[in-house]
Amino acid sequence: MVKYKSPEEIQVLREGGKIIATILKELEALVKVGLSTDEINNKAALLCASHNVSPVFLGYKPQGAKRPYPAAICVSINDEIVHGIPNENPKILKEGDVVSLDMGIIYKKMVLDSAITVPVGTIDAAAIHLLNITKDALYIGIAQAVIGNRIGDIGAAIEEVALSAGFSVADDLCGHGVGYAIHEDPFIPNVGRRGTGLILEEGLVIAIEPMFCEKGSRIKMGGDGYTLLTKDGGRSAHFEHTIAITKDGPLILSSLE
């Protein structure tokens, strides 16, 4: 069931969105060669405590998972697309890596979700292009999130960006409703056909999150039961914002602005 948010709830989400944006900005500044993913997780937990918010991923057990997620943040490197566990078998960041930081918080009982992919040191031109195109796709998808459009319009716009750049969209991974819980209806695919799917109405709050792969779209599950990787070993990028559908257009909630 799709649950629409009131103007007052959207204002709370906007306040919380500035916090999650601040946390991700601080974590991005932390990323450097030699940093452990466990250090990123520890810093994320400390930042949540300092801002009086809770990391929503910690202890979350999605449908089909065998155990709760054990960390405050998802840290995914290179061919890891999403849900990388930072504090079990921690990895050390190396020159040229690309690392996705995916964070969810609870602020005044409302949930926000956001992700960025950042370079470690100097990255090659192909990686720069992958990151830039995936980030562009996020904002192109957001631009379609207006009253009267449909979910398929968002997915189609994102997919077109990937294909025109020679990238693929990670199979079966998509955005979602958010606000009262980390994953709500509706699903927001990164592929689609214009004019199809749920009509977007005022008060809908969704997480839009393109995940592009530099090679093929097929994915596989890692041995930890959470990390999703590209099947062919190609690198991936992931960007995400929580947004609200308003009468004035899409409002990016997980932003410092």
Strands 168-169 vs 211-213: parallel, antiparallel or unpaired: antiparallel
pTM for this prediction = 0.97
State the Cα–Cα distance between residues 122 and 131, nearest whole angstrom. 13
Residue 127 has pLDDT above 90, yes or no: yes
Single-letter code of the amino acid located at 50: S
Tally helices (H) and strands (E) across the chain. 4, 15
Confidence of residue 22 (pLDDT cuts 50, 70, 90): very high
Average pLDDT over residues 54-77: 96
Confidence of residue 2 (pLDDT cuts 50, 70, 90): very high
| DSSP classification of residue 72 | S
State the Cα–Cα distance between residues 87 and 91, nearest whole angstrom. 9
Q: What is the pLDDT of residue 257?
A: 85
Longest dimension (CA), the chain: 48
Residues 6 or more apart from 208 whose CB is under 8 A from it? 138, 141, 142, 145, 154, 158, 175, 188, 240, 241, 243
Report CA dihedral (185, 109, 149, 158) to the nearest 10 degrees.
-80
Predicted confidence (pLDDT) per residue in 187-207, tens digit: 999 999 999 999 999 999 999
Average pLDDT over residues 67-77: 98
Strand partners, 220: 229
Residue 6 has pLDDT above 90, yes or no: yes
Average pLDDT over residues 64-68: 94
Q: Are 99 and 118 in contact (CB under 8 A)?
A: yes
Predicted confidence (pLDDT) per residue in 213-229, tens digit: 999 999 999 999 999 99
- Cα 240 to the center of its chain, rounded Å: 4
For the chain, percent of residues with pLDDT exceeding 90? 99
CA atoms within 13 A on the CB side of 192: 25
State the Cα–Cα distance between residues 203 and 105, nearest whole angstrom. 20
